Amino acid sequence: MERHVDRPEQVVPEEDPQPPKPTAKPPSKHEARSAAMRARICDAATECLDQFGYAETTLNRIQGQAKVSRGALMYHFADRNEIIAATAVQLLDQSMRPIKARKTQARSTAIRDLLQDVWTRVVDTAGGRAMLEILVACRTDAALKAKLANELHDWDQTSLETIATLYQGAGADPDDAELLWSVARTFVRGLIVHEQFAGSPEFSMRMLMRFADLLEPHLTPRAAGDR
* pLDDT, tens only, 8-39: 555 555 555 566 666 667 778 878 899 999 99
Handedness of CA 123, 128, 133, 136 (dihedral sign): negative
* pLDDT, tens only, 140-176: 999 999 999 999 999 999 999 999 999 999 999 999 9
* pLDDT, tens only, 94-134: 999 999 888 887 677 899 999 999 999 999 999 999 999 99
- 166 torsion bin: left (phi>0), alpha (psi -120 to 50), beta (else): alpha
Q: What is the number of helices (H) and of strands (E) in the chain?
A: 10, 2
3: pLDDT strictly greater than 80: no
Q: Is the pTM of this model over 0.75?
A: yes
pLDDT of residue 14: 55
* pLDDT, tens only, 178-210: 999 999 999 999 999 998 877 788 999 999 999
pLDDT of residue 160: 95
Alpha-carbon gap, residue 96 to 194, rounded angstroms: 23
Alpha-carbon gap, residue 184 to 98, rounded angstroms: 15
pLDDT of residue 18: 63
E strand or H helix that includes residue 121: none
Alpha-carbon gap, residue 209 to 45, rounded angstroms: 31
pLDDT of residue 60: 97
* pLDDT, tens only, 48-64: 999 999 999 999 999 99
Alpha-carbon gap, residue 50 to 134, rounded angstroms: 10
Alpha-carbon gap, residue 198 to 15, rounded angstroms: 71
b/e map 181-193, b = 16+ CB within 10 Å: beebbebbbebbe
When pLDDT is averaged across residues 74-88 and rounded to a whole number, the result is 96
DSSP tag of 199 = -
225: pLDDT strictly greater than 80: no
Mean per-residue pLDDT of the chain: 89
Q: For residue 87, report the phi and psi dihedrals to the nearest 5 degrees.
A: -65, -40
pLDDT of residue 66: 97
For residues 14 and 98, is the Cβ–Cβ distance under 8 A?
no
Q: What is the CATH code of the structural domain delimited by 30-226?
A: 1.10.357.10
Q: For residue 111, report the phi and psi dihedrals to the nearest 5 degrees.
A: -65, -30
